[in-house]
Amino acid sequence: MQAEREDGGARPIAVGSSSSGLDGLVAIDLNLLLPLRLLLEERSVTRAADRMGLSQPAMSHVLARCRKLFDDDLLVRVGKSLELTARGRDLIEPLTRVLHDLSRDVFARQDFDPATSTRSFRISATSPTAMVLLPRLLAGFEREAPLASLQLRPPIEHEDDLLDSPELDIAIAGEMVASQLPREPLYYDRWVVATAPDVRVAGNTISLEEFQSLPHIVFETTNGGRIPAYSLLDAAGITYTIRLRSHDFGLLPILLGQTACVALIQERLAVQFSRARLIRVFQPPVEIPPLRLDLIINPRFARDPARGWLRTQLRLAAVQPTAAHGR
């Protein structure tokens, strides 16, 4: 390819001079490629102009620029028609290929067929959220995307964790995780009191006095912060005795089963444990606002149809019945 010299002549453009082979394209107006392809195909300025939606003078100007760029006439008049030069003929095939690849690989909408996809989806979530959602989410994958797979990643603590991890498809986080990224509520989860099945309380409810007198297992985030329920108790001035701090909710049945402790946990997780008769569940003796769980979306992938399908599956998995207390 040629570029204009300072003296008005032409000099070669070193397209392949860099390791990437792309630096030379900086000096080229890529908007010329499509009209040039039409000029070479139609061998007519008028017809090429009509197909591009340009005026004939504008298309003539394009041809003049292309002639200067390639240092070749490209089209020459023979009698009443225009004919391709050897260089013009040689350009048709590579121009067609480049424009086709650009249309297909860059601008075409990427469809997603869950039935045939072998994609591995990566979700960031806490262990209690994962224990609530993954069983139903996996069932949905089995029905609709039997060849796809899931990978659970650690919970994000800041939106940079999502922006800096392009391999993450989506993050599920509580409302306490600050983020300016697009987010949408997934579900609300109430807080309940959990004890071992044989812990003695007065009746089918737990009083504030019992709640305060029994030692607590307090769950914390991975960075050491308390879960919102206990932060709200602290703000209300409600006292309690901490026997153990842990960040792994999955240990709850074992920890409670060997002690006379209580714990505040999310209701949907508590329901799963209580159905297996591993714990007993009570309504808290004080009002605690429910926890909102959100889908946090990396805006770079917001329009990806595969991630859109995943969001739909997560919303379906989040539709679960609540359970009665005092079991």
> Tens digits of per-residue pLDDT, 61-120?
999 999 998 899 999 999 888 899 999 999 988 888 888 777 655 565 567 899 999 999
- Encoded amino acid at 292, one letter: R
* Structure confidence at residue 26 as a pLDDT band (50, 70, 90): low
Whole-model pTM: value is 0.62
Cα distances from 216 to residues 41, 136, 282, 291, in angstroms, run: 79, 31, 14, 20
φ, ψ (nearest 5 deg) of residue 71:
50, 45
Q: 94: closest CA among 24, 33, 20?
A: 33
Among 100-104, 169-173, 283-287, 294-298, the minimum mean pLDDT is found in 100-104
Copy the structure tokens of residue 100.
């086709």
Domain annotation for the chain: domains and CATH numbers: 2-107 (1.10.10.10), 120-188+295-317 (3.40.190.10), 191-282 (3.40.190.10)
Looking only at the bridges linking them, the beta strands covering 2-4 and 10-12 are antiparallel
- Give DSSP secondary structure letters for 127-146: HHHHHHHHHHHHHHHHHH-T
Is residue 9 scored above 60 in pLDDT? no
Distance CA 100, CA 106 (A): 10
> Tens digits of per-residue pLDDT, 183-197?
889 999 999 999 988
Longest dimension (CA), the chain: 107
